[in-house]
Each structure stands twice: as C-alpha cells, then as structure tokens.
Amino acid sequence: MVFSGSLRTPVGVLAVESDGAAIRRVHWPRAGAAVAGPEPADPLLADALAQLQAYFAGDATAFDLPFDLGPQSEVTRAVLVTLFDTVGHGETVTYGELAARSGTSVPARAIGSIMGANPIPIIVPCHRVVASDGLGGYSGGAPGEGLVTKRWLLEHEGALPAALF
C-alpha cells in the first residue's frame, strides 16, 4: 500500500509517498495534479511531512527517516547513500568530489544523471551537489524552475549568500 501526502513550501507543493516502512518518493506534482489531504493515515508519512515542514521553517537541518531508493544500480545507490551520509546542511560538494567520496569508478560528469535519478530530493539532498564552476543543474522544482529551486534551497541552508535581487 502506498500512502501519499503533500505540503506547500516556498519552492512549491511537495508530494511525499510512503509504503508504511520507508519514504519512497518526494516530488513536485504537475500543476493541476490532485494531491493528498492534510491528514495522512500513515504515521511515517505524517512524520516525514512534519520533518519537511520543520526544514522549510528553518527549525530542522537533518532528516531522521527510513527511505527506500527503489530499483537503482549499485553505483547509483552508493552515490546517493554517500551523499546522504556525508554532505550535511549548509554544505555543498562538487560532482567530482562526490564521485570520489562514493568510492565508485563513476566519472564526475555522470553524477548529474545520478542526481536526476534521486527519487527522494530534499531528504537525500541532491541540491547540495554543484559544479566546480557554478550551480550545475537541478531537475527538482516546478517545471522550468529547477535552478531557482536549487538556489533557494542552498540559500535557505546558508550554503550560498542570499541573492541581492
């Protein structure tokens, strides 16, 4: 069984899915998509929504939730787990640094594709992975708002100075 819930955030509506044992997906639903009501039937989902709410309010800097990355290659799983375990709130890591930390032989340029395969953004913080010469890309957020969303998340965490305009 899949439980779904959502919350409004400064970067749009986030939808969260749980199977009762682990968080399985976090995503930005398409405009007009139905989103679940505010009273999730699953305690884990309720906890995830509360932790995300605290994160966006500036009251939490880490997530204490079981999550399931779903069917991923061993390399993808290793990179995403390394990201979750080693890159904290307010920190960034380059694609190349994350490739090296993961202990895999994946080239730095492939890390972007792995970040795009992350089914649990925000909780597994793919927004903290940046290019060596700038922000890099980001597939999260509302359509066409990926880099705006990434910049907001990094500013919120103090990893980037706030934009002047």
Phi, psi of 118 (to 5 degrees): -70, 115
Q: For the chain, what are the domain ranges?
A: 3-57, 74-156
Tokens of 101: 């930390």
134 band by pLDDT with thresholds 50, 70 and 90: confident
Active site residue 76: no
pLDDT for the residue 58: 95
pLDDT for the residue 32: 60
Q: Does 106 score more than 60 pLDDT? A: yes
Residues 86-91 have a mean pLDDT of: 95
What is the Cβ-side half-sphere exposure of residue 53, based on CA atoms within 13 angstroms? 11
161 band by pLDDT with thresholds 50, 70 and 90: confident
Q: Are 123 and 104 in contact (CB under 8 A)?
A: no
Residues 126-139 have a mean pLDDT of: 91
Q: What's the whole-number average pLDDT of the chain?
A: 90
* Burial track 122-137 (b if 16+ CB lie within 10 A, e otherwise): bbbbbbbbbeeeebbe
Give the type of residue at 164.
L
For residues 80 and 113, give the distance between their C-alpha atoms in angstroms, rounded to a whole number.
11
3-class DSSP state for residue 163?
coil
Q: Which of 69, 111, 126, 153 is catalytic?
A: 126
- The CATH fold of domain 74-156: Arc Repressor Mutant, subunit A (1.10.10)
Of how many residues is the chain composed?
A: 165
Residues 77-93 have a mean pLDDT of: 96
Concatenate the DSSP letters of all residues of 33-98 into one string.
-----S--SSHHHHHHHHHHHHHHHTS-SS----B---S--HHHHHHHHHHHHH--TT--EEHHHH
**Comparing 105 with 119, which gets the higher pLDDT?**
119
Q: Does 113 score more than 60 pLDDT? A: yes
Q: Does 86 score more than 90 pLDDT? A: yes
Residues 75-99 have a mean pLDDT of: 95
Model pLDDT for residues 31-74, shown as the tens digit of each residue: 765 555 555 688 999 999 999 999 999 999 999 999 999 999 99
